[in-house]
């Protein structure tokens, strides 16, 4: 199935964007969040759609990439999916690309819910990075 992709151009440097997507989840993603600190460790978050879930860190490359596998999610369509944040320097700032793959087929209720959730969460991340005004679930 095609992944969900979202892109943000941010004025923040890559190291700050990396910190946000690996350590500062409670500032933009979910108020109740404990990110994993190393590859192979599990973190958790709860709030908004899709509700509670566990995220296992698959890749943590400072300033470049973070990837997580979803399990134990209240929305079963997210279980087994992979969420990756790809970070690239871009004209004095950073281009962040979210890729969420291994979801149900496009146009299914689970896929549509995931698209809507990422639209909201990425807007929150942009607000956090640019104005310290994230809106975590």
69-115 confidence digits (pLDDT tens): 999 999 888 999 999 999 999 988 999 999 999 998 888 888 898 89
- Say if 137 falls within a structural domain: no
Nearest one of 137, 85, 80, 135 to 110, comparing CA atoms:
80
- Say if 136 falls within a structural domain: no
Give the pTM.
0.94
- Say if 14 falls within a structural domain: yes
CA 53-79-64 angle, 5° bins = 75
Q: Taking a C-beta distance cutoff of 8 angstroms, is the pair 31, 135 a contact?
A: no
- Say if 40 falls within a structural domain: yes
Per-residue pLDDT band at 16 (split at 50, 70, 90) = very high
Range of the domain at 83: 4-131
The confidence score (pLDDT) of residue 10 equals 97
DSSP letters of 25-50?
A: GGGTT-SEEE--SSTT-EEEEESSTT
**Domain holding 73: CATH number?**
3.30.530.20
Residues 6+ positions from 112 with CB-CB distance below 8 Å: none
| φ, ψ for residue 40, nearest 5 deg | 95, -20
| φ, ψ for residue 88, nearest 5 deg | -135, 135
Nearest one of 69, 7, 73 to 40, comparing CA atoms:
69
Domain count, the chain: 1
- Say if 26 falls within a structural domain: yes
């Amino acid at each position: 199935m095609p992944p969900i992709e979202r892109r943000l151009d941010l004025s923040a440097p890559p190291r700050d964007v990396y910190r946000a997507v690996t350590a500062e989840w409670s500032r933009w993603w979910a108020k109740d969040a404990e990110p994993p600190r190393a590859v192979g460790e599990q973190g958790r978050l709860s709030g908004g759609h899709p509700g509670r879930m566990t995220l296992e860190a698959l890749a943590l490359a400072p300033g470049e990439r973070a990837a997580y596998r979803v399990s134990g999610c209240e929305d079963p369509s997210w279980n087994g999916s992979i969420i990756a944040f790809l970070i690239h320097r871009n004209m004095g700032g950073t281009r962040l690309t979210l890729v969420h793959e291994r979801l149900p087929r496009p146009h299914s209720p689970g896929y549509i819910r995931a698209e809507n959730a990422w639209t909201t969460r990425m807007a929150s991340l942009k607000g956090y990075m640019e104005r310290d005004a994230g809106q975590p679930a």
